[in-house]
Amino acid sequence: MTIVALDLDRFLPYRLSYTASLLSDLIAGAYADWFDISILEWRVLAWVGQGKGITQQEICVRTRMDKVAVSRAAIALSRRGMIQKKPNVSDGRSRLLELTADGEHLYRQIAPRALELEHRLFARFSADQLAAFTTMLQQIDDEVVRLKSI
Of 47, 63, 137, which Cα lies nearest the Cα of 97?
A: 47
Whether 1 shows a pLDDT value over 80: the answer reads no
Query: Residue 20, exposed/middle/buried by CB under 10 A (0-12, 13-18, 19+)?
Result: exposed
Whether 42 shows a pLDDT value over 90: the answer reads yes
Residue 86: strand pairing partners: 96
Residue 98: strand pairing partners: 84
Q: In which band, very low, low, confident or very high, does the pLDDT at 51 lie, cut at 50, 70 and 90?
A: confident
Q: In which band, very low, low, confident or very high, does the pLDDT at 3 lie, cut at 50, 70 and 90?
A: confident
The predicted pLDDT at position 131 comes to 98
- Extents of the domains making up the chain: 12-112
Helix (H), strand (E), coil (C) string for 93-133? CCEEEEECHHHHHHHHHHHHHHHHHHHHHHCCCCHHHHHHH
Contacts of 136 by beta carbon, 8 Å cutoff, 6+ apart: none
E strands in 1-147: 83-87, 95-99
Contact 97, 75 (CB under 8 A): no
The predicted pLDDT at position 73 comes to 98
Considering the domain delimited by 12-112, tell me its CATH architecture. Orthogonal Bundle (1.10)
Average pLDDT score over the chain: 94
